[in-house]
Amino acid sequence: MTRLKEPHPHSGLLIVVEGIDGSGKTTQAHLLKSWLESRGEAVFFTEWNSSELVKKATRAGKKSATLTPLTFSLMHATDFADRHLYQIVPPLKAGMIVIADRYAYTAFARDEARGVHPEWVRNMYSFATRPDVALYFRVTTDVALERLSSARAKIKYYEAGMDMRLSTDIAESFRIFQSRVVGHYDALCNEYGLTTIDATRTIPEQQAIVRDIVLARLRERRRGGAA
- 33-73 pLDDT tens trace: 999 999 999 999 999 999 988 888 888 888 887 889 999 89
Kindly report, residue by residue over 160-209, the tens digit of the pLDDT.
999 999 999 999 999 999 999 999 999 999 999 999 999 999 999 999 99
Residue 155 lies in a domain: yes
Whether 130 is in a domain gets the answer yes
Dist. CA 6–CA 8, nearest whole Å: 6
Residues ≥6 apart with Cβ < 8 Å to 218: 13, 97
| Residue 154 domain flag | yes
Which has more pLDDT, 156 or 212?
212
Has residue 62 been placed in a domain?
yes
pLDDT band with cut points at 50, 70 and 90 for residue 1: low
Average pLDDT over residues 138-164: 90
Mean pLDDT estimate for the chain:
93
**In percent, how much of the chain has pLDDT > 70?**
98
- Tell me the residue length of the chain: 227
Task: Report yes or no on 139 lying in a domain.
Answer: yes
Rounded alpha-carbon distances, angstroms, from residue 112 to 6, 39, 73, 115, 119:
23, 39, 10, 5, 10
CATH of the domain at 92: 3.40.50.300
Categorize the per-residue pLDDT at 153 as very low, low, confident or very high, splitting at 50, 70 and 90.
low
DSSP letter (8 states) at residue 164? G
Give the chain's domain count: 1
Does the pLDDT of residue 221 top 90, yes or no?
no
Looking at residue 145, its pLDDT comes to 94
DSSP 86-136: IIIHHHHHTT-EEEEES-HHHHHHHHHHTT--HHHHHHHTTTPPPPSEEEE
Q: Is residue 77 in some structural domain?
A: yes
pLDDT at residue 98 greater than cutoff 50: yes
Does any domain span residue 2? no
Flag whether 5 is in a domain: no
The arithmetic mean of pLDDT across residues 95-101, rounded, is: 97
- pLDDT at position 227 is 46
**Domain span at 58:** 10-220
